[in-house]
């Protein structure tokens, strides 16, 4: 398509060029698959250097608007990654260079414990001699029982928090069942529920957790389950207070319409959360399946989490897994036991928790200094309101900062728009990132 870019683009900085092209894509003027001019061609037309255009192209590529095909040129992106759902694709963004990537929601690799000693212990459980052995090795089971946030009937291990959530949902809900979800929440939750044919009931969260009044109304619809992130809620970073947890448990226990409801809790940031450990299982243990993940504290590639709850439900999960993966590798379980009990590894995780806490505090203070206050949150992520999500992503990318758009985390589009910022990866430059975010905030 031949466009008069020189007439369309007024601001000829990298940010201005990227924003103008993004508007053309959003409006449909540039369609998926359309070829863009080369950096030299556009640079000559705008009277700027090819390097300036290249920076704009990199910014748009980093947020998934365009894709470079080498000598063939740059094109408006059309093909999604086939093995990711649309929500996860949008959440994950696109690979590429970024001066500062705050989009991944992953822990800082520099803060994870050293695996060397733990790996040396793997041979202890390197040989499983029976397919019917206990799914959890005794040392790990003993540790989990000692640290569980309430007196639980049974515990097993699964291959990460999402595996635990998926296994739990398979046992608790049937096609057409209603399920309460936090709004906003982690996008794969939506995808799992869609796969199972469940009907989502969104309930908003506030500074202390799930909104009690909205929960009371949602329970009148007779839901089968409630998905809850008690600490470092993704994407908001909110942690539920003990008082709020007790109030929610009381509301659930009193609901006649939801007498069979099961609460599935995803404590994905257990090891690095600075907030008080909290579970509704403290008050209604017969209704709670609690997941404790070790990905954020000990490493995502361990792929291990613990799942605890009523014995009957846990036995159903274990029995179903025996028809698939069978069990979580006992070698991986051995590595985790060593990391959970070794003094050096324990100190590393405790230090990481302190560092993440400090990074969240410094970021919140830097945002307040710009006049754009945000809540002091927990764990890795923070939820920041912006004037326009797409504009914010492009403008931040043009500054070398990658964040995640808020749309995939919301049950439905609303009047307010947000981005998720993985503050846990912000080792320095809090004031610079806050200043960049302030330029795309409402009322700037």
- Residue 396's nearest CA partner among 364, 420, 365 is 420
Residue 361 binned pLDDT confidence (cut-offs 50, 70, 90): very high
What CA–CA distance (Å, rounded) separates 22 from 105?
25
Least confident of 69-78, 381-390, 412-421: 69-78
Say what the alpha-carbon torsion angle 105, 387, 59, 62 is, to the nearest 10 degrees.
30
Q: How far apart are the first and last CA of the chain?
A: 35
- Range from 217-221, 277-281, 372-376, 416-420 carrying the lowest mean pLDDT: 372-376
Beta partners for 182? 203
Tell me which range, 49-58, 98-107, 356-365, 388-397, is most confidently predicted by mean pLDDT: 356-365
Give the pLDDT score at 165: 97
| Total Cβ atoms within 10 A of residue 49 | 13
**Which candidate, 266, 302, 122, 249, places its Cα nearest to that of 192?**
266
The pLDDT, as a whole number, for residue 358 is: 97
pLDDT value at 426 more than 90: yes
pLDDT at 126: 57
Q: Which residue has the higher pLDDT, 397 or 343?
A: 343
Nearest CA among 213, 272, 275 for reference residue 241: 275
pLDDT of residue 168: 98
What per-residue confidence (pLDDT) applies to 144?
97
Interval 285-294 mean pLDDT = 98
Question: Higher-confidence residue: 270 or 34?
Answer: 270
The residue among 318, 266, 443 whose CA lies nearest residue 371 is: 443
The two tokens of residue 373 are 């206050």
pLDDT digits (tens, 9 = 90+) for 51-76: 999 888 888 887 778 888 777 788 88
Residue-level pLDDT at 70: 76
93-95-97-98 Cα dihedral, nearest 10 degrees: 20
Look up tokens 């202890």; give the residue: 124
Q: Lowest mean pLDDT of 86-90, 219-223, 267-271, 424-428, name the range.
A: 86-90
- Name the residue among 362, 143, 141 with its Cα closest to residue 271: 143
User: What's this model's pTM, rounded to 2 decimal places?
Assistant: 0.85
Mean pLDDT of 382-390: 93
Q: Is the confidence at residue 95, as pLDDT, over 60?
A: no
Domains in the chain (CATH in brackets) are 5-76 (1.10.10.10), 86-111+345-438 (3.90.1150.10), 117-340 (3.40.640.10)
Q: Which residue has the tokens 């296994």?
A: 167
- Measured from the Cβ of residue 260, the count of other Cβ atoms closer than 10 Å reads 11
Looking at residue 132, its pLDDT comes to 66
**Which tokens go with 147?**
């640290």
């Amino acid at each position: 398509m031949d466009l008069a870019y020189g007439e369309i683009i007024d601001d000829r900085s990298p940010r201005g060029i990227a924003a103008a092209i993004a508007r053309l894509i959003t409006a449909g003027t540039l369609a998926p698959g359309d070829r863009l001019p080369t950096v030299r061609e556009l640079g000559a037309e705008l009277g700027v250097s090819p390097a300036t255009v290249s920076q704009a192209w990199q910014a748009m590529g980093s947020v998934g608007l365009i894709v470079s095909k080498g000598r063939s040129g740059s094109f408006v992106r059309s093909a999604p990654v086939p093995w990711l759902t649309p929500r996860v694709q949008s959440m994950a963004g696109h690979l590429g260079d970024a001066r500062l990537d705050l989009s991944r929601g992953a822990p800082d690799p520099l803060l994870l414990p050293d695996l060397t000693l733990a790996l040396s212990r793997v041979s202890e459980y390197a040989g499983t001699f029976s397919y019917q052995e206990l799914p959890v090795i005794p040392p790990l089971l003993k540790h989990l029982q000692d640290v569980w946030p309430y007196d639980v009937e049974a515990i097993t291990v699964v291959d990460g928090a999402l595996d635990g959530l998926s296994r739990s949902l398979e046992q608790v809900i049937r096609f057409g069942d209603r399920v309460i979800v936090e709004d906003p929440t982690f996008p794969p939750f939506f995808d799992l529920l869609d796969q199972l044919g469940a009907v989502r009931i969104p309930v908003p969260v506030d500074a202390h957790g799930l909104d009690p009044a909205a929960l009371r109304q949602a329970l009148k619809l007779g839901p089968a389950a409630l998905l809850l992130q008690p600490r470092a809620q993704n994407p908001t970073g909110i942690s539920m207070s003990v008082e709020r947890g007790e109030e929610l448990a009381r509301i659930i226990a009193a609901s006649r319409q939801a007498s069979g409801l099961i609460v599935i809790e995803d404590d994905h940031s257990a090891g690095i959360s600075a907030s008080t450990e909290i579970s509704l299982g403290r008050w209604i243990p017969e209704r709670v399946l609690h997941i404790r993940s070790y990905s954020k504290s000990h490493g995502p590639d361990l792929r291990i989490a613990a799942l605890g709850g009523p014995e009957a439900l846990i036995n159903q999960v274990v029995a179903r897994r025996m028809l698939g993966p069978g069990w979580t590798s006992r070698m991986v379980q051995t590595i985790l036991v060593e990391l959970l009990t070794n003094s050096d590894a324990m100190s590393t995780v405790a230090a990481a928790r302190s560092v993440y806490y400090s990074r969240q505090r410094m970021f919140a203070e830097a945002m307040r200094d710009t006049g754009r206050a945000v809540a002091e949150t927990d764990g890795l992520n923070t939820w920041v309101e912006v004037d326009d999500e797409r504009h914010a992503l492009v403008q931040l990318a043009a500054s070398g900062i990658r964040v995640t758009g808020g749309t995939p985390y919301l049950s439905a589009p609303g009047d307010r728009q947000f981005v998720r910022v993985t503050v846990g990866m912000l080792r320095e430059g809090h004031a610079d990132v806050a200043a960049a975010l302030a330029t795309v905030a409402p009322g700037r």
